[in-house]
Amino acid sequence: MRLKSQYIFVIGVVGVIALYFLVRAVTGHGHASNQAAAKPVSTASAIPSVQVRMTPQAIRNYDVVLRGRTQATRSVQVKSETSGLVAATPVLQGTVVRQGQVLCRLSVDARQAALDQARASYKSMQLQQQAAAELVRKGFRSPTQMAQAQANLDAAQAAVRATEVALRQVDIRAPFAGVFDRRDAEVGTYLSPGQSCGALIELSPLLVVGDVPETEAAKLHVGAAATARLVDGKVISGRVRYVAHDADPATRTYHLEITSPNPGLAVRSGLSAEVRINAGAGPAHVVPVSSLVLDTAGRQGVRYVLDDGRVAFAPVKILEETPNGVWVSGLQGAVRLIVVGQSYVADGQKVRVAMAR
């Protein structure tokens, strides 16, 4: 049987290819090629490169930062001690008042008449006591009668004092200097004992109050210097006067109070403020924001290069952000901080170091 010419051509091509691979195997070219392919990569080329910046240590004040608000040092409802109609309100609400100034005045009614009657009774008892004393001296009265006359005189004197107090109570006065911030009674209002004439607040000195997290409370102490930046940009200074020792059970925070001078009562109560409280000083470093990384445990920190060329991780705490970088604590001494490549190396890994420009 004769083969077709097409089959003869295919068989010839396959034979040539088979002969080619047979010759390469015999001459050893394939083995040399495999050896070249299996040649190990240079160790130096496998070490990653990073760029570092020398970061010196500095001593910096530590501040505890929290949100707060201004508050009056004292705030009271000035209440009536007696009953009666309001006859006058000599002070407008919002007015600065001195201690003892009349805020509301009640109608005198019969109080003046009662005082006049008590004084007249007192004078009568005085005359009776004097007469009794004279009669006792002459022997016409017993000492017991003299004691009764003295008791009547003392009772009349007490009645005078009571009616004088009742008459003074028609004037509802400011218990301290401050601002009569709100009036609750108008002319014609009937006040019973305990009802309010208005609210009085003391704004000098001023309080700045806030709540300190439980992680920061131990760093603060009474007398520590503090500043508060108000919503309008104004900064006031003061000192800590109180740090609670018992946490709020709902928020686990500790109440804090700062006293600050308030000349001219320029700062009002209830303004929001950013509060900074000095908590001592210690070592700190300023690092670029971009150098901050997270480790496998989720802690925020930075990576730096040790003297032996290996990478180390240090968890840090941010103290303050500035235009030149972030002040952090947690590092010790001058370090070679990794500023390029910090996200692509691991702790303990050997690296090649170049100084960042």
Question: Among 134-138, 265-269, 285-289, 337-341, which is the least confidently predicted range?
Answer: 134-138
- Per-residue pLDDT tens for 303-355? 999 999 999 999 999 888 888 899 999 999 999 999 999 999 999 999 999 99
pLDDT at residue 241 in the model: 97
Predicted confidence band at 92 (pLDDT cuts at 50, 70, 90)?
very high
Q: What are phi and psi of 313, to 5 degrees?
A: -115, 140
For the segment 81-103, the average pLDDT, to the nearest whole number, is: 95
The Cα 1–Cα 217 span in angstroms is 106
CATH of domain 49-56+288-355: 2.40.420.20
300 has a pLDDT exceeding 90: yes
Q: What ranges do the domains of the chain cover?
A: 5-37, 49-56+288-355, 65-72+202-280, 76-197
Question: Among 38-47, 119-128, 262-271, which is the least confidently predicted range?
Answer: 38-47
Burial of 138 from C-beta contacts in 10 A (0-12 / 13-18 / 19+):
exposed
Predicted confidence band at 36 (pLDDT cuts at 50, 70, 90)?
very low
Across-strand partners of 331?
none
Please give the structure tokens belonging to residue 21. 């691979």
CATH class of 76-197: mainly beta
For residue 143, the 8-state DSSP code is H
- Per-residue pLDDT tens for 140-150? 888 888 889 89
Write down the H helix ranges in 143-208: 143-168
Preceding amide of 205 cis, omega within 30 = yes
The Cα 34–Cα 197 span in angstroms is 103
Helix (H, G, I), strand (E, B) or coil at 203: strand
Report, in this order, helix, strand and coil percent for the chain, each rounded to 5: 30, 40, 30
Cα end-to-end span (Å), the chain? 84
Superfamily of domain 65-72+202-280 in the CATH hierarchy: Efflux pump adaptor protein, beta barrel domain (2.40.30.170)
- Within this chain, domains 49-56+288-355 and 65-72+202-280 share the same CATH topology: no
Average pLDDT, the chain: 89
pTM of the entire predicted model: 0.66
3 has a pLDDT exceeding 70: no
Predicted confidence band at 1 (pLDDT cuts at 50, 70, 90)?
very low
Q: 319-347 burial, b if ≥16 CB within 10 A, otherwise e?
A: bbeeeebbbbebbeeebbbbbbbbeebee
pLDDT at residue 7 in the model: 64
Q: Above pLDDT 90, what percent of the chain?
A: 71
- Considering only CA atoms, which of 318, 267, 328 is closest in space to residue 68? 267
The Cα 89–Cα 303 span in angstroms is 70
For residue 109, the 8-state DSSP code is T
pLDDT at residue 185 in the model: 94
Predicted confidence band at 28 (pLDDT cuts at 50, 70, 90)?
low
Predicted confidence band at 91 (pLDDT cuts at 50, 70, 90)?
very high
